[in-house]
Amino acid sequence: MLRNRSTKIVVTLGPASSDPDMISNLHQAGADLFRLNFSHGDHKDHKDRLTAIRAVEADTGASIGVLADLQGPKFRIGVIEGGATELQAGQAYRFDLEDRPGDRRRAQLAHPEVFAALEDGMDLLIDDGRLRLTVSKCGADYADCKVVIGGRLSDRKGVNLPHVLLPMGAMTAKDQVDLRFALDAGIDWVALSFVQRPDDIAEARRLIAGRAAIMAKIEKPAAVNQIDEIIELADAIMVARGDLGVELPVEQVPALQKDLIRRARRAGKPVVVATQMLESMVAAPVPTRAEVSDVATAVYDGTDAVMLSGETAAGTYPRQAVEVMSRVAAKVEGDHGYRSIMDGQHADPEATSADAITAAARQVAVTISASAIVTYTTSGSTALRAARERPPVPILVLTPRQITARRLSVAWGLSCVHSVDASSF
């Protein structure tokens, strides 16, 4: 489907957007790729949503990508007696392996790998950083802490360990079960959560065996420290600003977002900016001005795609959120400053035939004021190199492979046409 913008929109499906009619409406409103979040819902839920997406695809003739976002090794405390307790700054608090409800003195953290990685002086962040504790003493099955920032501690809250390289991969046993289901169901992309090292990508690629493309979610400092190697091994990256903003000082995230986008674009790999982009639209029909500026900034930065999460998965106004995001992206791309930024950030072509041809095509399109660039691809690599050039005209992609057309739905500026008789010339 030809949109009036080059930046793509990734839409998360959930309880608020599982109805087939709603999924169709979201696609009409601007969704280019749908995300299935395996942190929530069961396999039947995801299968039903995928079936609805494929029905929309058949009705419209569009090639719609589907992303399976695996939960990854997310650590959580156990339950708290009475549902919650209040922690005061300065008090002592213990985490341990004991399988019993927590209270105002201790809580279960049923992850021995966390205790194995902890050292005295390290910080534990609870509930997306709302509570902060510092380790004063730890062992193989416990960690005694001092509360630095107190607050309400309730059941099953998440735990982050900034700057800790955990002795485990990016895929849990649950992830492997979910991955097998997703691959058998026919998804197009797999997102790996909490990637720490390049080996995490290599292990996932071995398990996926070419059946889907891999998107590495950048949300830990360890991944940032090896970002070039991760980008090289992955097919795309996601700037997952939620956990990234917990594990790093929040003031570092904006500059890091720009840097990650530049690096991915230079490598010719799609990049998605995600998390809380229009968060207030979970409950309100219009976004805040700050949220509009956030979406616009990501587009000005040159991202391939922007993503909606809770806004469409659990919000009251899912279609309106997609429409707002689409309008903002289109308006930014119509600004002469946007084109100046894209041209100013243009990466030099590599010494390959594909880059030589796509760079020349971009220049020809500018010189003769062409209406579009047309490219043929089987694997998608030529189309991605064309997108890397960020030309000022649409890129029409012809491919005989449906899976290629679906995977390219996340890439900047590409409008894919799947036809079994498409051929090179």
| Residues forming the active site | 35, 76, 217, 275
Beta strands in 121-201 (DSSP E): 123-126, 131-139, 142-149, 151-154, 158-160, 189-192
Q: Which of 78, 60, 88 is nearest to 2 (CA)?
A: 60
Can you read off the two tokens belonging to residue 129? Answer: 């950083």
Return d(Cα 109, Cα 118) in angstroms, integer: 13
- Cα 387 to chain centroid, rounded: 19
- Rounded to whole angstroms, the Cα distance separating 338 from 14 reads 33
Walk across the sheet containing 395-399 and list its strands. Answer: 373-376, 395-399, 414-418
Residue 42 structure tokens:
């069961």
User: What span, in angstroms and rounded, lies between the C-alpha atoms of 156 and 280?
Assistant: 24
For residues 146 and 136, what is the distance between their CA atoms, to the nearest angstrom? 7
| 121 class by beta-carbon count within 10 Å (0-12 exposed, 13-18 middle, 19+ buried) | exposed
User: Rounded distance, CA 215 to CA 208, Å?
Assistant: 12
CB 66 within 8 A of CB 187: yes
Q: Please give the Cα distance from 130 to 148 (Å, whole number).
A: 11
Q: How many CB atoms lie within 10 A of CB 76?
A: 14
How far is Cα 232 from Cα 58, in angstroms, rounded to an integer?
Answer: 34
- Location of structure tokens 């939960």: 71
Sign of CA dihedral 77, 83, 89, 95: negative
Residue carrying structure tokens 């590495």:
216
Query: For residues 137 and 156, is the Cβ–Cβ distance under 8 A?
Result: no
Give the ranges where 8-60 is alpha helix by DSSP (H): 20-29, 43-60
